[in-house]
Structure 1
């Protein structure tokens, strides 16, 4: 049975009470000792990884499918999202702070469950960017799985004069709050779906049951700084080059991450990169028939990755 968790974190913001991350831990009947740490994308809460349609079809739930394969699965709400603490100033929640909070929450769960010898970071879209940043700072995971993400950003939706901003971390840190305020205008904006975004997230080939189930996960605001950071070309390309663990990449053939074959080039220090292009699939992968393929491939990759980590004594 899934267990809801309230995980205090040691990050202080002026004028705010103590902060905490909301999470759900899915425990398997026959555990293999590995933990998957799942971070949702922009405008999504942790239910993205546990989609449950009215007919009870569990094939849409990534968390339950992976638990059935022996993995512990931890799904997190970012600060400002879902049941996690929501500071009054949403502009205080930059990518570094969000990643640090998620890292503390993950560490707390692993301390409480010492039998979990290895963890794998799993992130979707903006959550993939935060997974990458967390790994670059802590190096805590045995591998990372990035779904629907690339360091390309969204150049068509950002001004040309900002396309090189991410190449200078100091300038990025200084300018991002101002740019995010200019674009989003409020600390927790809600972005309505338009026909183009609906086609990307759940087009005609998406299962209507999954599309309906997604509504419980997507009634959330955007986190302005992290969202705009993820949109910038080269968003975390500097951090990507420092990743020294295996990387699993999955994108839909109708995703929003650019040319799939160009994505692995950012991970110059990774010993192994696996790229999977999911057929007839948009951005919200679990809505599509290819989810079965994705889940099985990720399960196999995770077993191989942690087995290799054990052989290295890590």
Structure 2
């Protein structure tokens, strides 16, 4: 099969969001191979805690079947992946304080909109894609952030949430942080609690699981620091329950049956708009993109999105 066309970009966050002067958002755009007509449906992807945008484009030695982004683009669907501010190749201004969750989401949403506007009119080296619609795709922490982003900006026409639950991870919270879990927490307090919990706005995750395989090496190559305010938000019980109930677009929730964090949880979809579904993916842990069943999982996303999003 012909290969997808991949380009990397850096966008001036200060030109997109007030107060982010000197910051930059890194993004990759995956387009269909030459000669393959682009579909009018694009996927905008956010990775989870401790992962850069490369999670959507895993490069496994000797095996080119681990990239959701390339696999989708080769089937005609454009894919846009971004790094959270301060994570991966997205940078902060020297000496700048860590951004609030709302700042991160504003910058990412602005980049998704900018890239999609360019694709509509034939920019970024692509032919025009009329009537382009988008699906926001988030994994783990990225899924939590995607729900909140959609509740604020209403950019996408559907959401696919992977490794997602509103239950949080209360057993992993410190007593000091858990004491605040039943209170309303604004972005400033969330940042303070993240410092209390993790000691820094950005911290690496401990991935020392003792395993060594081509897929694990690919995951480590895509690893980066975690934006701890976003990570803490995803760990709080009820994290984005209110935002989820306010969504007006269909939602797909996919969790692996071997996921020790959210395994088998379907209840969240009951609080989503009409057309939403929750499924459990057989043979997958938390990181679906390295599961043996990954292509079945990817196919479910594409098939569902085409059903609920009409051009």
Give 3-state SS (helix, strand or coil) of 2:202's partner. coil
In the TM superposition, 1:53-202 aligns within 5 A as 53-55=60-62, 57-87=63-93, 92-114=98-120, 115=129, 117-159=132-174, 162=177, 165=180, 168-169=183-184, 171-195=185-209
Q: CA shift at 1:87, angstroms?
A: 4.5
Q: CA shift at 1:161, angstroms?
A: 6.8
1:21 to 22, 25, 33: 25
The question of 1:277 aligning with 2:280 is answered yes
Q: How many Å separate the matches in 2 of 1:224 and 1:65?
A: 30
**CA-to-aligned-CA distance 1:33-55 (integer Å, 9 cap, x gap):** 11100111111001000011111
In structure 2, runs of 5+ residues without a counterpart are: 121-128
Out of 228-237 and 152-161, give the one that drifted further: 152-161
Instruction: Quote the RMSD (CA, aligned, Å).
Output: 2.2
Q: CA shift at 1:258, angstroms?
A: 5.2
Instruction: Show the counterpart of 1:262.
Output: 267
**Residues 1:89 and 1:147: Cα distance change in structure 2 (over 3 Å):** farther
Length, aligned pairs only = 292
In structure 1, runs of 5+ residues without a counterpart are: none
Instruction: Show the counterpart of 1:293.
Output: 296
Give 3-state SS (helix, strand or coil) of 1:298's partner. helix
Q: Do the aligned residues in 2 keep the contact of 1:91 with 1:224 (CA within 8 Å)?
A: no
When normalised by structure 1's length, the TM-score is 0.86
1:34 to 41, 55, 59: 41
The question of 1:244 aligning with 2:248 is answered yes
Give 3-state SS (helix, strand or coil) of 2:239's partner. coil
When normalised by structure 2's length, the TM-score is 0.87
Give 3-state SS (helix, strand or coil) of 1:70's partner. coil
